[in-house]
Structure 1
Amino acid sequence: MSEEKKKREVRKPTFGESIIPILFMAVVLAIGKGLLQWPTEVCLLLSAAFAGIIAVVRLGYNWEMLEKCIVDKIAAVMPPVLIVIFVGFMIATWCFAGTLPMLVYYGMMFISPQFILFIAFVATAILSYVSGASWGAAASIGVALMGVGAGLDVPPAMTAAAVVTGAYFGDKLSPLSDTTNLAAAVTRVPLYDHIKYMLWTTVPSTVITLIFLLFLGFNLDTTGEISSESMVMLSQLDELFRFGILPLIPMAVILLAIFLRQPTVPAMLISSVAALLIGTFYQGLDFQQGLQSTMTGFNVSMLRTDTEALLPNVTELLNRGGLSNNGSFLAFIFCAMGFAGIVTGTGMMDAAMGQLTNRIKSCGMAVLLAEIECIIINLLTGSDGLNKIITTELMMKKFLELRVHPIVLCRSLEDSGTMTGPIIPWSAAGLYMATTLGVPTTEYLPYCVLCFCSLLFGVLYAFTGFKIVRITDEEAHIMAAERGIVLDN
């Protein structure tokens, strides 16, 4: 059978054929993962297999066509996957050079436990804003703050939530952010108008988040002073490594690359090479072991000291990183993208989401549906970019028919599509943050108040009409024509 004939036999899915695989995945995750504690990868593989069966039996696809859909989806997420892989590479060398121990040491010396969560949010937010790179901020200053928090006996999930929400606050409002530019581009809204309009939902959400983080900080089970155990930890770190200007060079390389908007992976490699040299010639460690750490992770046994005398906290802080420790992450990505590739490549996603717009009669419901669609697409595909593209295609006409300015849709894409990415365990953003910070997404998720508030304020404004930009009939038709849309009214 020729390829041309195969393509003619393939048809578009109906709403029923499209929604069944989505519901199947929801049930499998709820029962398999939630009740039976199956690995998430298994649940996603079962969901992908089920969606594949429907595509073959009902829609006329064959394995080669489905394989291409899956490979295309995996290829689309490979840039962030590469970053995650090299984060492990870099962190191991930072420990080898004394970079991470030094940052933790001085962080514990000068930061009060009550303010660590507040500082973690603000520090990552500033770095993410000026660079437009939430992932870069988390991988550099975020990793160091995780170590500081651990040294101050702050629950890792709280510190991770502060880092994640701070990073995404800065990313959301930065004119350099790829997600912010994408949202403005697909809706054809001027970038700075979009950023200014987002302040109405972002500012109150941030105020609530900072109050929440301060509340958590002041209610930690701590006296506010460095404990005797933490003093011993500081003493051991000081004895194990030489501190000074040189150990800061690997981090400076990353920060400089972020500010100059240079490619992340090459910057990580340069930072790692610098760290290996500093660990060898400044710390006096074995270069061969440093190279080995890039694969298996740094281990305290590489230090010329009695490792049995080290505190468990010190060992836990230092024994990290390595390329080989990312195997579970890669398996997760491949399984998730298997399902995502099938439901998007066969048109199931478009068919399922498109039916939801027909009964929308108000701005409140339109914004609510846009946010729900972004979340569903995030859940099914794990893609920050794809949710903005698909939701715009599905909802732009409805917003214009309701005489609502596209800037409202543009903000909704960020409030939901961008801000829910890092709190979905199998999304690229969620996997990245969990792997980089060493805390499962499900553990830091409850503390990500900024993400939930962004969603709520967007819907609240829409239903009350507060700060909703309306347009005239003439403006609606002009905007529709500019976007190649024919309105029904």
Structure 2
Amino acid sequence: MGIDTYWAASAILCAAVIGDGLSPLSDTPNVIAGATNVDVFKSVIFQLPMTIPVILISFAFYAFMGVFGDVPMADTSTISNLVIAIEDSYNLGVWCLIPVILVFGLLIFEFPAIPAILIGILSAIGVAVVFQGQSIVNTVSAVWGGYHLVSDNKLIETLFSRGGISSMTGTAVLIIFSFGLFGILKLCNVLDVLVVPLTKKIKCRLSGVVCVIVLGFLANFSSSASFSEVFTGNIMTTVYDKAGLNRLDLTRAATVGCLVFSMFVPFTVMCATVTGFLGVDPVAMFKYYVSMPLYLIVILLITGFNLDKSLLAKMSKS
């Protein structure tokens, strides 16, 4: 399309990180909420004072780049070809949005994430069978084993060919074993070696947030953001409780340290996978990230000046 690859990847990755950290359907909020024993919806809502400024500033930056930056005009013929290829492959219509609307509607009413996803899957199966002409057997098989689209347009074929539930088993097993590992370490009092020194260092909200971010970032060198989330959440929950701090602060800081900063560790599964798919060098991408440094600046400002004091007090009572 004639657009600079790294700036395009920058916009995609920043949006992906923001969405991953803010969606109650994503693994990151659920793993962090599970590790800290905090309600996932409260955790997501508490992130809004941090995430909304990041979204607005990032959007303004990319809009400015698009209007005034040295960016070549996109080849719109490529977009037209993609739209035609999609229309040739699927029976498009408003009915395709039924699963999405249904899932988001359930989440608005704070319906549990897993049942909401299952309902979304069932509704998507219905849409595939009724409107796309797929058989029930093939659709259920695609849910588990993945789907491969056959198209004359290779880009569309790549974009719409994806693995199913079975492709996520590695991540699921890692999360399960991570929780199991920390259960064993806690039972053996091994975590006390880390908890006691950290408790002495944390004297206020700001020092607690800084400690969580640093620990989460360092834990990413295990090569897994999911492990970092479980590791940081389990250790810092005890620290926060002993220091008399609110766990909502912990969940928000863990999102920054474990998820956002995982993009600065090039061999983590998340960073390596998404940059590999986009065809960009993970280390060369560092200077193109816009939202990631903003997260750090905003959370430190909010916490340091207690700008969310009323929200924290309100959510602690509810």
CA distance in 2, matches of 1:374, 1:206: 20
Structure 1 residue runs of 4 or more that deviate by more than 6 Å after TM superposition: 177-180, 430-440
Counterpart of 2:101 in 1: which secondary structure? helix
Q: What runs of 5+ residues in structure 2 fail to find an aligned partner?
A: 25-29, 220-226, 310-318
CA distance in 2, matches of 1:320, 1:220: 35
CA distance in 2, matches of 1:294, 1:469: 42
Residues 1:466 and 1:422: Cα distance change in structure 2 (over 3 Å): closer
Structure 2 letter corresponding to 1:323: I
Q: Name 1:413's counterpart in structure 2.
A: 250
Q: Deviations over 1:12-49 (max 9, x none)?
A: xxxxxxxxxxxxxxxxxxxxxxxxxxxxxxxxxxxxxx
TM-score (norm. length: structure 1): 0.44
- Give the alignment of 1:66-465 within 5 angstroms: 155-156=8-9, 158-166=11-19, 168=21, 199=49, 205-214=54-63, 222-224=72-74, 226=76, 228-301=77-150, 307=151, 310-334=152-176, 336-337=178-179, 339-358=181-200, 367-368=206-207, 370-373=209-212, 375-376=214-215, 379=219, 382-383=229-230, 385-386=233-234, 389-396=237-244, 412-423=249-260, 446=286, 449-457=290-298, 459=300
Structure 2 letter corresponding to 1:276: I
Deviation at 1:350, TM superposition (A): 3.0
Deviation at 1:311, TM superposition (A): 1.5
Residues 1:266 and 1:373: Cα distance change in structure 2 (over 3 Å): closer
Structure 1 letter corresponding to 2:157: T
Q: Deviations over 1:146-200 (max 9, x none)?
A: xxxxxx99745631321322564688xxxxx9979x99x89xxxx9xx969x84x
TM-score (norm. length: structure 2): 0.64
CA distance in 2, matches of 1:451, 1:168: 12
CA distance in 1, matches of 2:85, 2:236: 49
CA distance in 1, matches of 2:137, 2:208: 56
Deviation at 1:316, TM superposition (A): 1.0
Structure 2 letter corresponding to 1:223: M
Deviation at 1:318, TM superposition (A): 1.3
Count residues with an aligned counterpart. 279
CA distance in 2, matches of 1:382, 1:367: 19
Residues 1:284 and 1:467: Cα distance change in structure 2 (over 3 Å): closer
CA distance in 1, matches of 2:290, 2:182: 28
Residues 1:357 and 1:334: Cα distance change in structure 2 (over 3 Å): closer
Percent of residue pairs identical: 18
Residues 1:245 and 1:458: Cα distance change in structure 2 (over 3 Å): closer
Residues 1:263 and 1:234: Cα distance change in structure 2 (over 3 Å): same
* 1:420 and 1:451 in contact (8 A); partners too: no
Residues 1:466 and 1:385: Cα distance change in structure 2 (over 3 Å): closer
Deviation at 1:261, TM superposition (A): 1.7
Point out the structure with max Rg over C-alpha: 1
Q: What runs of 5+ residues in structure 1 fail to find an aligned partner?
A: 1-112, 115-151, 172-176, 302-306, 397-405, 471-489
